[in-house]
Amino acid sequence: MTSPYQSLQHTEAVARFDLLTVEEYDIRLDLASDERTFGSVTTIRFTSRGGATFVDLKPTRVNEIRFNGVVLDPDLLERGRLPLDTVAGANELVVDAVMPFRNDGEGLHRSVDPADGKSYVYGMSFMDAAPTIFACFDQPDLKAPYTFHVRAPEDWVVIGNAPGSNPEKGVWEFERTQPLSTYFVTLVAGPYHLIRDEHDGIPLGLSARASVAKDLDADADELFTMTKQCFDEFHRLFGIRYPFGDYHQAFVPEFNAGAMENPGCVTFRDPLIFSSRVTRGMRIARATTLAHEMAHQWFGNIVTPKWWDDLWLNESFAEYMGNRVTADVTQYADVWSDMAYARRQWGLVADQRPSTHPVAGNGAFDASAALQDFDGISYSKGSAVLKQLNATLGDDVFFAGAIDHFTRHRFGNATMHDLFESWERAGAGDLSSFTSNWLRTAGPDALVLDRAAGVIRRTPPAEHPAERTHTFRAAVAVDGAWEDRTVEVTGPETPFVVPEGAPVVIDAYDETWAVAQADPATVRSLVPLLADVKDGHLRAGVWNNVRSALHNAAIDPADVLDLVVASPPVEDPEDTLRRTWTWVFSWVVPLAPTGAAARVHEAALEAMVAATPGSERQLAALRAAIRSADDEAILRGWLAVPPVGIDMDLDLRWKVLVRLAAIGAADRDELQRALDAEPTARSRVEHTLAVASLPDAEAKAWAWARFTGEVDVPNYELEAAASGMWRGGQEAITAPYVDRYFTDLPETVRVRSGWVLADAAEFYFPGNVLSEDLLERARAAAADQTLDLSVRRRLVDRADELARKLAVRKAFPHS
């Protein structure tokens, strides 16, 4: 079973680039005629060297296609491609089509807000989705200016990549854009709540659904202030002004990614508009996302990678620059230690998988394969490596090279080689060894302390050997007092002698990229000590060392559990609980001795009681306590009488209801009443999660019908249903679906594509089963060449996680 559409291959992109120059797009959309489809008339003017090619088009139906004045037969359209026999010189293609509104977060996504029944639309052209909005040559290096004309319901506002006007009710005319790649052409349309501001000559805007208007208003100051601070800093560092006119930031419903950097009109997932109380860590995550998308206006939008094998030129730079600028100029100076919790393991785990790839030159042969490389390597590892490069080159050379790159390729495309040439012109010297060791070679070295031998051992990954030097600080506690030692690891063994039993945290402050692992003695000796560690970044280093060691079956989960239980009451920054809890539940509790869940729950309760009422630590601890509770009375007690300092807002009430459902203490009527009482978008997703979590066969069949597509639901509800499906303790009820996963998975390509195809394959993987049999079946399916490539990639990754957990259980059997 293959996808109904063909993804563009690199070789095809090269051929089409050699043939064509696109002069302009003129696009006329009618969003007012129908709720399921919209009208789309695209005129493309381009010059050609003459010869055969194709245009990308994925319509519901075609009204008329006119090419150089001649009507073409719509039946020529096959798997999303319309063949064109171009003439040398000027060509004009006019495609009049009806396109589908989608509900999977791609193309032109339309959703109805359950709170008030209002409809919202936004465009997500990335990665293969532009042709479901307009006919186009869908590849990053065929840039052209766009002019949009939109008809929309009269009470809607419409925002695009360029400034627009509203000459008459329901009619929107947009200025011609700068040259844009197809993948970041967008449109945001609906009865959005809009707030405007201005900074340094740049008109600024924010928008969100009307039903969350007051929440957007509450945070508008913070969002505008950060936007202004970041613009000033990017202008100072890059010396080139933001060139895309207005800068609008739209918070849109059911968005798959964190955000998308469309020039002039960035789209964000709207859970980032906080309707319930959140912790500082969630605000930091939003701040870095905002800065990340701004960095893309330069790295990505002014200069765009020629092909997806260089997507690190977008993501690694945006991640590094976004984090750096947030830390340097906004109120969130503690970004780097927060990132150590939030992002580092994401990158390290991805880099240790069989599916690892180099940061640069990932070899993406088609666009859909490239989508799978938007992972912890392209973001977290890429950012870490660029931070190292910046430290090596210094700001002067680093930014002189970047400015040279932006200037030479302004509104065009470039490759990694172009950027390295720019750096060399800026005086960087020969970067070839840095490039080959850190950017072109996949996989991380392992750094492990051998106490008996008095050395730190460096082990490169067997499949990707490299000679890498690591310079970092290790933290050592001598008689309970922490000291930092600078270490340079240049070979397989580096002398490192510590007093007997002293805990050692290798690369405690993320100064290199390596799998630094805690040794067993360190974990045990940390149990009484971690409480007194005041440095937030060092504590993050401790957890990263511990997580990496458990990931490699090097330490006993029983020891890890002792550390987890001993440490939550003292963690700071206060969001550590939130950052580590998912890992505790997926990696520590199932592998530690029986009774682990109860001990974790007790620790969370103690942390909550010890926390200052009203503090974020109290909130984080309560969340952890809810998630681990098995006692209906305590959960209902919190609903009836919240702990002092806690407002049982919508978020917390649903967390309790979901937990009650999972332990079989809530029924469908109660969940339905909660949804009816406050029918927000958030409630609808949480209701789905709760129903899928119920411990009965009906609930699992209900969740499964969403996976197979028998019941079609928007992307957020699909993900929620998957998250409730495979609860620990419900193995007997979910057992029949292990078989069904493997039989139904290949057919899901009939009902979904892109992001959600791969996400559903990952999230519906049997998550409560730890068995060799499942591992074998997962590996066999991953090797099945007839399966969609993105699905196979997720199977490889889930199989790796399972294999590692089985290795821990084998090394340290507890149950």
Ranges of beta strands (E only) in 209-295 are 247-252, 259-260, 265-269
CB of 293 to Zn ion, least distance (A): 7
Question: DSSP states of 37-86 as a string?
Answer: EEEEEEEEEEEESSEEEEEE---SEEEEEEETTEEEPGGG-BTTEEEEEE
The Cα-based distances of 711 to 253, 549, 583 in angstroms read 20, 42, 31
What tokens were used for 28?
């006329």
Nearer to Zn ion, 315 or 717 (CB): 315
Rounded CA-CA distance 23/44 in Å is 8
- Give least dist CB 8 to Zn ion, A: 20
Q: Sketch the per residue contact string, 286 through 315, with Zn ion: x for CB under 5 A, - otherwise.
A: -----------------------------x
Tell whether residue 321 is a contact of Zn ion (CB under 5 A).
no
Q: Is position 293 annotated as part of the catalytic site?
A: yes
End-to-end, the C-alpha distance of the chain in Å comes to 41
Stretch that binds Zn ion, among 155-163, 317-325, 500-508, 657-665 (CB under 5 A): 317-325
Cβ nearer to Zn ion, comparing 311 with 455: 311
Contact 482, 533 (CB under 8 A): yes
In angstroms, give the least distance from the CB of 371 to Zn ion: 13
CA dist., res. 240 & res. 500, Å (int)? 55
| Binding window for Zn ion (CB under 5 A); candidates: 177-185, 219-227, 316-324, 752-760 | 316-324
Q: Using CA atoms, how far apart are residues 805 and 587, in angstroms rounded to an integer?
A: 7
Q: Which of residues 493-552 bind Zn ion (CB under 5 A)?
A: none
The answer for residues whose C-beta is within 8 angstroms of residue 717's C-beta and 6 or more apart is: 684, 685, 688, 706
Looking at residue 73, its amino acid is D
Residues 22-50 as b/e (b if ≥16 CB within 10 A, e otherwise) read beebbbbbbbbeeeebbbbbbbbebbbee
CA distance 666 to 687: 12
Q: How far is the CB of 411 from Zn ion (least distance, A)?
A: 19
Site for Zn ion contains 318 (CB under 5 A) = yes
Q: Name the residue type at position 667.
A: D
What is the rounded distance in angstroms from the CA atom of residue 461 to the CA atom of residue 358?
13
**Whole-number Å distance between alpha carbons of 108 and 100:** 8
Instruction: Read off φ and ψ for residue 690, nearest 5 degrees.
Output: -65, -45
Question: Which C-beta is closer to Zn ion: that of 3 or that of 314?
Answer: 314
Which CB atom, from 141 or from 315, has the smaller least distance to Zn ion?
315
Side chain identity, residue 755 = W
Site size toward Zn ion (CB under 5 A) is 2
User: Minimal distance in Å, beta carbon 251 to Zn ion?
Assistant: 17
Taking the least distance from each CB to Zn ion, the nearer of 315 and 759 is 315
Tokens 């709207």 sit on residue? 270
Spatial CB neighbours of 417, under 8 Å, sequence gap ≥ 6: none
Least CB distance from residue 364 to Zn ion, whole Å?
A: 16
Residue 323 Cβ, how far from Zn ion at the closest point, in Å? 12
**Min. distance of Cβ 292 from Zn ion in angstroms?**
5
Can you give the three-state secondary structure of 170-189, one letter per residue? CEEEECCCCCECHHHCCEEE
Provide the minimum distance between the beta carbon of 322 and Zn ion in the complex, in angstroms, as a whole number.
Answer: 8
Tell me the backbone φ, ψ of residue 90, rounded to 5 degrees: -75, 135
Of 53 and 297, which CB lies nearer to Zn ion in the complex structure? 297
How many Å apart are CA 536 and CA 526, to the nearest integer?
A: 15
Task: Give me the residue whose beta carbon is nearest to Zn ion.
Answer: 318
Quick one: 140 or 503, whose CB is closer to Zn ion? 140
How far is residue 437's CA from residue 464's CA, in Å, rounded to a whole number?
10
Tally the C-alpha atoms within 13 A of residue 529's C-alpha that lie toward its C-beta: 23
Calculate Rg over the CA atoms of the chain. Answer: 27
**How far apart are alpha carbons 54 and 74 in whole angstroms?**
13
Return the number of the residue (139 or 297) whose C-beta is nearest Zn ion.
297
Q: In the complex with Zn ion, which residue's Cβ is closer, 315 or 556?
A: 315
Task: Return the number of the residue (159 or 318) whose C-beta is nearest Zn ion.
Answer: 318
Q: Give whichever of 362 and 723 is closer to Zn ion, judged by the CB atom.
A: 362
Q: In the complex, what is the shortest distance from the CB of residue 125 to Zn ion, in angstroms, rounded to a whole number?
A: 14
Provide the minimum distance between the beta carbon of 260 and Zn ion in the complex, in angstroms, as a whole number: 8
d(CA 191, CA 711): 28
Residue of 233, 254, 261, 293 marked active site: 293
Residue with tokens 């969940």: 671
Summarize as ranges the residues that interact with Zn ion (CB under 5 A): 315, 318
Catalytic residue IDs: 293
